[in-house]
């Protein structure tokens, strides 16, 4: 009887470990996009953390090639170049397949250039940029900070991991409408006094980032739960007490974008075998994206920097989830 109990216990423990091994997770890392020369080393600690994580897939704030509307809303010229190049590109399937199984360190500048052109013809802006980076800096990558999260984290990390491709997940369906809402909300905020709350959150964020900036830790500061939450409040117009008109419209659009980002990520994560997935996105999106993951994709584990503070906040999200609609 004791032996049977021991065997049952061991079996249950083994099944638990197996379940944990099969669990897929998404590590969301907030970025500040292009930083100043004064804070050029801001991404160094984030790259170190991302490197230690050893992701099997990397997602960046770029538009999936299938989303022609969002591409047209942000980089319309890229569509024209893609269609034009596709007519004259020397498409060699055998060469492309060979390069995809070749280590990056064994590729030539010409190989990087060829794949760069190939991804242009596929309307794949993220990987076009990745191979453009490789064409310039080679298999060793850039030696000095380039002050953007893609060059200083994602491209550099993908090269280190010998990844042939990176993944896109952004959505810009209502890009124009968002900026029009921002302008209208700001104008109305002057009249009804809501702008004082915007100023309050903005000043708090600036002051909070001063010391981290001096010590090259601005990237870490942006991933603090409270800092990310402030950026979420600002970008989603949740600082507005009136909550009407353009302000409410901007909030809906921001929430919609976060929802579509998460949908794009979750779809790819669930289709792929990768268990460790790194998402590098503007820090203002992190809070809203975590809400979306908790609400619609609870089977995917979320990992973040400042984990303890985020865990407490996630508990609040589960007890009082907001609804993002548009």
The pLDDT, as a whole number, for residue 3 is: 57
Answer for the pair 286, 28: CB distance below 8 angstroms, yes or no: yes
What pLDDT, in 10s, does the model give residues 191-232? Answer: 999 999 999 999 999 999 999 999 999 999 999 999 999 999
The position carrying tokens 């049952």 is: 8
Among candidates 158, 145, 170, which has minimal Cα distance to 41?
145
Percent of the chain topping pLDDT 70: 91
What pLDDT, in 10s, does the model give residues 230-283? Answer: 999 999 999 998 767 999 999 999 999 999 999 999 999 999 999 999 999 999
Residue extents of the structural domains in the chain:
66-144, 175-319
SS3 call for 210:
helix
Q: Which one has a higher pLDDT value, 17 or 65?
A: 65
Model confidence band, residue 19 (pLDDT cutoffs 50, 70, 90)? very low
Cα 59 from chain centre: 6
The two beta strands, 25-31 and 57-60, are unpaired
Answer for the pair 304, 286: CB distance below 8 angstroms, yes or no: yes
**Residues ≥6 apart with Cβ < 8 Å to 260:** 171, 173
**Global pTM value:** 0.90
What pLDDT, in 10s, does the model give residues 87-119? Answer: 999 999 999 999 999 999 999 999 999 999 999
Contacts of residues 100-106 at CB distance under 8 Å and 24 or more positions apart, as own/partner, are 100/164, 103/162, 104/134, 104/139, 104/159, 104/162, 104/164, 105/139, 105/162, 106/139
Q: Give the CA radius of gyration of the chain.
A: 22
The pLDDT, as a whole number, for residue 297 is: 96
SS3 call for 171:
coil
**Residues ≥6 apart with Cβ < 8 Å to 242:** 188, 192, 194
Model confidence band, residue 315 (pLDDT cutoffs 50, 70, 90)? confident
């Amino acid at each position: 009887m004791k032996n049977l109990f021991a065997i049952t216990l061991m079996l249950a423990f083994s099944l638990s470990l197996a379940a944990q091994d099969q669990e897929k997770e998404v590590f969301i890392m907030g970025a500040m996009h292009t930083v100043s020369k004064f804070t050029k080393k801001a991404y160094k600690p984030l790259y170190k953390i991302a490197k230690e994580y050893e992701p099997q897939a990397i997602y960046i704030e770029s538009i999936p090639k299938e989303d022609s509307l969002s591409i047209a809303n942000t980089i319309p010229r890229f569509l024209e170049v893609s269609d034009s190049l596709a007519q004259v590109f020397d498409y060699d399937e055998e060469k492309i397949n060979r390069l995809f199984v070749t280590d990056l360190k064994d590729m030539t500048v010409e190989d990087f250039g060829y794949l760069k052109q190939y991804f242009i013809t596929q309307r794949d802006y993220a990987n076009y940029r990745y191979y453009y980076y490789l064409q310039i800096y080679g298999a060793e990558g850039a030696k000095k900070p380039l002050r953007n999260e893609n060059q200083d984290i994602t491209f550099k990390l993908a090269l280190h991991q010998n990844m042939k491709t990176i993944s896109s997940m952004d959505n810009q369906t209502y890009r124009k409408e968002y900026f029009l809402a921002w302008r209208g909300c700001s104008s109305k905020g002057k009249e009804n006094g809501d702008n004082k709350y915007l100023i309050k959150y903005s000043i708090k964020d600036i002051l909070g980032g001063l010391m981290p900036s001096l010590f090259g830790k601005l990237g870490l500061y942006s991933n603090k739960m409270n800092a990310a939450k402030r950026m979420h409040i600002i970008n989603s117009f949740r600082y507005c007490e009136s909550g009407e008109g353009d302000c409410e419209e901007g909030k809906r659009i921001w929430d919609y974008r976060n929802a579509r980002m998460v949908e794009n990520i979750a779809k790819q994560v669930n289709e792929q075998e990768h268990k460790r997935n790194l998402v590098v996105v503007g820090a203002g999106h992190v809070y809203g994206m975590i809400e979306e993951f908790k609400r619609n994709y609870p089977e995917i584990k979320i990992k973040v920097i400042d984990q303890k503070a985020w865990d407490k906040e996630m508990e609040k999200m589960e007890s009082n989830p907001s609804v993002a609609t548009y």
